[in-house]
Structure 1
Amino acid sequence: MSSRTYSTTPGAELQHDLVRAGFYPQMVQDVLAEAMMGQPVLDHYVHLETHFDHTEVHRHITVMVMSEKVLFIVHVDDQQLDDHGKDVMAQVSVEMISLARIASVATSYVYHQPQHYSAADPVKELTFGMSWNGTKRIDLAPAACGDPQCDADHGLNGTSQPEDLVIRVSAEADGQQAVDKAREFAVRLRLATIA
């Protein structure tokens, strides 16, 4: 692991947040250090999610790290390979996106009791997304005509939408500090993409 990657104060804060999240922190640090090739961490956001599916617990983590010109996104999922959870596999993906390629940084805010809104009110939920045209979601459906008696094949109609990364953070589920951190990171990322 390159010591330069984590030698800045933001790098030390990233290490702290990874350890605090507790989801394979050393593995994530090592994968990130390899991907960043010695570039120092300038900013980051760590998002840990837990999902419950009847008797199983599924966790995954998304880590976004900004260097001077690049955003690194690491995503880790784990999966139990046996019924007792002793044989576990982790799948790690890393994407490197030039900050100049990020076309859109979008945020959606949820405030409770907006009729009593004041500037000091916290955002209760934040959906934070960005697009760099890396992935597209295509929704297709059979095309139809206006004739109810027609049984001809009219092909398909569909839409194509960019869907690169969307994260939802809720004060109720993740804590107010997580919402505030996501909001602050989105603002700094937006500034970095227009710089």
Structure 2
Amino acid sequence: MNNDRRSEFLNALQVFVPPGSFVVDDVVELLGDEEIWAFYVRPETIFDADSVYERIVVFLATPRRLVLMYTDTSYEMSSAGELVTTLQAIGFDSIKEYHVVKRRHLEGDHAGELNSLTLRLRWGSAFTQDLQPAACDDPACTNDHGYVGVTTNEDFQMFLDERHDGQYFAQGVDFVRTLVSILGQR
């Protein structure tokens, strides 16, 4: 049985990049002859301190790995602009755990319907620290009590919300369901 969705993926990607784009070449080169079992493609707008970037986000599931691709339109290094593509591939055997959080409408005509979905994957390459000043129970105390914090290991998080993701919500939910099914078989 042929599960390969490569042609569907390339058609979805070419909605966001011009025909003959090197972005397509980059992802095809990374994949080689691997089949694409699931994919999710969507545009994003990224804001930082002094710039706004248009980004194309691609998530792919092949028989053996998860591929993440981010392509930004950047004017940082060239006033004419350039496409900056980052590709990351993670073997499914490296993924240590995953969490799926589903939120559903509580009441009304849409009661029980999914309204947001969060997927978190952990494979051990990135850690986040959230530090805050420590304190004691004395509100008048001015001593330095150091810091308290939490270190978490979430290498990847995908958040989908029906209100914000609009036409891309259902496609993202389908991708997460397929990915979780693949991970569940490992």
TM-score (norm 2): 0.78
- Compared CA separation, residues 24 and 46, structure 1 to 2 (3 A): farther
- Which amino acid in structure 1 is aligned with residue 165 of structure 2? D
CA shift, 1:170, in A, is 3.7
Q: 1:183 aligned to 2:173?
A: yes
Paired with 1:25 and 1:174, the residues of 2 have a C-alpha distance of 27
Counterpart residue number, 1:91? 84
Whose helix proportion is higher, 1 or 2? 1
Structure 1: unaligned runs, 5 residues or longer: 1-6
CA shift, 1:63, in A, is 0.9
Q: 1:32 aligned to 2:27?
A: yes
Q: 1:194 aligned to 2:184?
A: yes
Counterpart residue number, 2:56? 61
Q: 1:75 aligned to 2:70?
A: yes
Counterpart residue number, 1:3? none
Query: 2:13·2:41 contact (CA, 8 Å) conserved in 1?
Result: yes
Paired with 2:182 and 2:157, the residues of 1 have a C-alpha distance of 18
CA shift, 1:24, in A, is 8.7
Cα-Cα RMSD: 3.2
Paired with 2:107 and 2:123, the residues of 1 have a C-alpha distance of 33
The counterpart of 2:94, out of the listed 91, 96, 101, is 101
- Compared CA separation, residues 156 and 125, structure 1 to 2 (3 A): same
- Compared CA separation, residues 105 and 15, structure 1 to 2 (3 A): farther
Paired with 2:127 and 2:18, the residues of 1 have a C-alpha distance of 28
Query: 2:104·2:111 contact (CA, 8 Å) conserved in 1?
Result: no
After TM superposition, the structure 1 = structure 2 runs for residues 1-195 of structure 1, keeping only pairs within 5 Å, are 9-22=4-17, 26-51=21-46, 57-81=52-76, 87-102=80-95, 103-111=97-105, 114-117=107-110, 121=113, 123-148=114-139, 150-176=141-167, 178-195=168-185
Query: 1:136·1:162 contact (CA, 8 Å) conserved in 2?
Result: yes
Aligned residues: percent identity?
Answer: 23
Q: CA-to-partner distance for each residue in 1:3-47, whole Å, 9 max, x for gaps?
A: xxxx97500011011011337983332222222233222221112
TM-score (norm 1): 0.75
Structure 2: unaligned runs, 5 residues or longer: none
Q: CA-to-partner distance for each residue in 1:102-133, whole Å, 9 max, x for gaps?
A: 2104243343x6244466x5x34433333323
Query: 2:160·2:169 contact (CA, 8 Å) conserved in 1?
Result: yes
- How many pairs align? 182
